[in-house]
Amino acid sequence: MAAAVTAALMGGVTAASYDDIPDIEVYGQHFFYTNNGSQFFLKGVAYQQNYSPNGSTSTNATYTDPLADATGCARDIPYMKQIYTNIIRVYAIDPTKDHDECMAQLASADIYVIADLGEPGTSIESNDPVWDVTLYNRYISVIDSLQKYKNVLGFFAGNENVSSGNQTAAAAFVKAAVRDAKGYINSQGYRSTLGVGYATADVPTRDELAHYFACEPDSTNSTQIDFWGYNVYSWCGDSDYSTSSYGERVDFFSDYPVPAFFAEYGCIEGIDGGATHRPFTEVEVLYGNMTKVFSGGIVYEWFMGTNDYGLVDLTDSDASVSPYPDFTSLRSQLATVSPSSTARSAYTPANSAPACPSTGTSWAAVASPLPPSPNAQLCACMAASLQCNIKSTNAEAYADVFDYICAADSSYCDGFAHNATTGDYGGYSGCDPKDQLAWAANQYYIGNSKSASACDFSGLATRQTAATANSCTSLLSAVGTAGTGTAASPTVRGTSAGATGTATKTSSKAAAGSVSAPGFFEYGGVVFGVYALTAVGSLMGMLVL
């Protein structure tokens, strides 16, 4: 039977199927089909091979885009339907690849997709969070790539970015990403049913996290998530409603203003027979007395890997699927559930946004102001307007220069400060490291009477003829000469600062440096670093004033 369905998927699916499937909308605390108003409960599986969702931050990490593998989709979808799958979660996709065939196969099988916006090396880091042009461009490229498919339910702007008590400041940067992803979807005229949410681990700050992402401090610019994903592994084996704390979660989320669901579930600890024998007894409860509050869940995960969570193994050189015993258990459990649903026409949302959590010993991030929206045009305008710019693209050499300049005078670095606890953000905090360093170097150069030796830094910097295009004037004016103001949010993709308008110039020498940004590096903590005194000594050779 599976082979017959696979053949049908490979031979009979047309690209139009993802245009015909009814999209899913968020309305109050629930998801609904837009064609008939019936409630949508997630019966999903995490679908990404050889990938750790909260793993490597290295830019060298690789992954396989599951939505670009039409053969793999055709192989797996018939088995997914055996466990009643109606949604998959993918953790990283390549926006440059073609996803039409796989998305059409999924739509033909009535399967929806929720996609994370990051990728290894390009996501908001828990211990050194930023929200900058590189991240923004990655996120909107994923949105651009997937928005046309009506079987895309939405996106996660972050996954487990706050995993310990000392990482709560990172939430501000993810909330800013939620704001800008939603703003981008709206500015591009993409369908309004595309949602943006956050997925959290079951951490001690989970209540503050839930309130933080659902609160709405700015009525003119929405920062509220559209849905909340919980990665929950507290029901192990034959647990129960009380022992697993499922009841506590239902009580807490009973007045939550947006849909909540299990973005990952399926504990493998203490299972009789081992990890591949999960009984999935939580299914009866999740789709039973929890459905007034929770909208189902997504089992972790489809492919067997080194972590032993897989439901299936691939055999015959990845041509065939071999289910494990817990695949059968999950199928049996899901076959018996019949969630009590609510029709959209009979439902009136009553829950309002919660108050934002106060900063204190357990919570570090203020909800307003948030990091400014990254604006590539602003960053390019700034770099062109400088008299001292950074010419080197060797990001590994930047950290010492950052430390040296900021230790010399912290005001030189105010333009890219980012303090989530006080809500103090420099106007250029959304620029990439190369442009931020250029700003600091220029401030240092001006502060040292524009001495030629004050714009060198062992050859990393160069003087240039500063230029400001007419299209840049208002942006740079908003940020100001100290770099502490805030420019308007971009509504479309950033463009080159010099693409339009007539430039005005100030005296210096050399051509404008490149404004392309290299990869990330860590140069500090919450603000912009704790500047080591040893860096001053190591950098003295860079400058002879």
Task: Set out the domains of the chain in order of their start, with CATH numbers.
Answer: 17-346 (3.20.20.80), 376-479 (1.20.58.1040)
**In terms of C-beta density within 10 A (0-12 exposed, 13-18 middle, 19 or more buried), how is residue 493 classed?**
middle
Nearest to 107, CA basis, from 21, 9, 193: 21
What's the token pair of residue 198? 């956050």
How does DSSP classify residue 393? -
pLDDT tens figures, 259-289: 999 999 999 999 999 999 999 999 999 999 9
* Coil, strand or helix at 30: strand
CA–CA dist 45, 521 (Å, integer): 34
Provide the pLDDT for residue 525. 37
Provide the pLDDT for residue 54. 57
Dihedral angle over CA of 200, 205, 211, 214, nearest 10: -20
Provide the pLDDT for residue 59. 53
How does DSSP classify residue 29? T
Nearest to 54, CA basis, from 233, 227, 281: 233
Other C-beta atoms within 10 Å of 20: how many?
12
Give the predicted TM-score (pTM) of the model. Answer: 0.89
Provide the pLDDT for residue 220. 80
CB 253, CB 294: distance < 8 Å: yes
Which residue is associated with the tokens 């053949």? 7
Q: How many CA atoms lie within 13 A of 444 on its CB side?
A: 31
What's the token pair of residue 490? 């971009």
**Residue-level length of the chain:** 545
What's the token pair of residue 535? 């860096």
Cβ contacts of 286 within 8 Å, gap of 6 or more:
246, 262, 265, 294, 296, 297
What's the token pair of residue 373? 């929206």
**In terms of C-beta density within 10 A (0-12 exposed, 13-18 middle, 19 or more buried), how is residue 463 classed?**
buried
Provide the pLDDT for residue 527. 39
- Positions of the chain with pLDDT under 50: 1-16, 55-57, 492-545
Q: How many CA atoms lie within 13 A of 469 on its CB side?
A: 18
CA–CA dist 334, 84 (Å, integer): 7
**Which positions are catalytic?**
160, 264
Nearest to 83, CA basis, from 312, 320, 273, 238: 312
**What amino acid occupies position 492?**
V
From residue 12, how far is each of 63, 98, 427 by CA, in Å? 29, 18, 53
CB 22, CB 34: distance < 8 Å: yes
What's the token pair of residue 161? 């970015």
Provide the pLDDT for residue 315. 97
Nearest to 91, CA basis, from 266, 264, 213: 264
CA–CA dist 441, 400 (Å, integer): 12
β pairing state of 312-315 and 388-390:
unpaired
What's the token pair of residue 61? 């990490």
